[in-house]
Amino acid sequence: MLNFWYWLAGFYEGEGSCGCYLHSRKKKRWRLSVTVSQKDPRVLRLIQKTVGRGNIAKNNGSWGKVYHWRLNCADARWFLNKIKPLMRAPKKIKQLIKALALDKKHVGPRHTRRDPKTGQLIRRK
């Protein structure tokens, strides 16, 4: 299973992105988000099935059909912390660190919630 996580970290470095974005301007709510995009949904379905989290969405744009595997909030935080030690690309590591720092700054501990799979409380580090 460790080989899968190394592969996924590399795949994320090539095809993914993350950030902490202003979700609601009026209430000033922020959301941590991870997205991995592909033209072929089969690999994204494999990731979703193996990781057990996230949603797959389809967009029709100028490039044709593009599929996105997305994680938000606690699931995104869990995923980024899981792949962080396995990553090698300095640009993506910097992006990940910035996103987690913004998440910690703007999304306070009141937004901590329970893990949907285990029921354990997800706490911030």
* Cα–Cα dist 108/39, whole Å: 36
Residue-range domain boundaries for the chain? 2-111
- Span 45-77, pLDDT tens digits: 999 999 999 999 999 988 899 999 999 988 999
* Residue of 40, 22, 18, 38 whose CA lies nearest to 30: 22
CATH code reported for the domain at 2-111: 3.10.28.10
The model's pTM: 0.83
DSSP-derived 3-state class of residue 34: strand
Structure tokens at 15: 């095809």
Any idea how long the chain is? 125
**Helix (H, G, I), strand (E, B), or coil: what is residue 85?**
helix
Question: CA nearest 52: which of 78, 21, 84?
Answer: 78
pLDDT at 117: 61
